[in-house]
Structure 1
Amino acid sequence: MLSTRLRPSRRSCGFDCSCHGAAFTQAIQENPMKKTDLDKNEGLKITGQMKQAGTPDRYGSAASAVMSRRDQRKLEQAQGLVAFAVKLDGELVKQIHALAESRQTGINETVAALLVKGLAD
């Protein structure tokens, strides 16, 4: 006797058939792009935003406002300032920093004032 079984069709499925289910078909329709394509598009988007952003001030015209070390040294020499390196205890340095912050002055000015006051005694 001959078998009369039906064979499944060998044609390729276009994801619109009933063999994959509704959830799969909906997922394919909502996001037809591969993850690598999505990542590539995100990278292109970020690159475009970076090109449109412009140059930060630290690299643009504001960068020229900072003096070179040579010019800074000449200015300090004209003011009579001399570099003076000292090793101090960490707690003492913290106190100097706190005092400078409370006076709203720089570290150099605070240390100079403390030395003048200490040497006057």
Structure 2
Amino acid sequence: MASGKKRPPKPLDFRNTPLADALQTQDMAAVAFALRHGPTVVPLMRPGAPDDPRDSGEVWTYRDPESGDVALLLFSDATHKPATLPPAVGLHSPAWLRAFLAAHGDEITTVFFDIAGPHPMQASPDDLIAALDA
């Protein structure tokens, strides 16, 4: 007989282990595979509304004050996000990443993965779109 108590929901796991493994080996084909088949951790300026699945929050990007270049920072694990970035993170699907890059790829000059380590990597938005479409 059930006890009638509901278990608390399992917390979201804000990581993509295959992406972390691919970054460790700096294998772009493995990075592409991990991005096509798993979530990406994205820093957010504003988290999404918990009761609105259409609201994924407002993504934080870095604008270089000298050049004006815009970088998108993505993480394989929320624990790799530097504390100096906004505290909120989102866990986004491959389809979301593809749509975001398509919508903002003209203004984003580079995409950094795990910029503070342990195994940073960078790619162009066009390279990531091609990887996601493969």
Which band: TM-score by shorter chain?
A: under 0.3
| Higher strand fraction (1 or 2) | 2
| Higher helix fraction (1 or 2) | 1
TM-score by length of 2: 0.21
Task: Find the structure with the greater CA-based Rg.
Answer: 1
Comparing both chains, which one has the higher relative contact order based on Cα–Cα distances under 8 Å and sequence gaps of 6 or more? Answer: 2
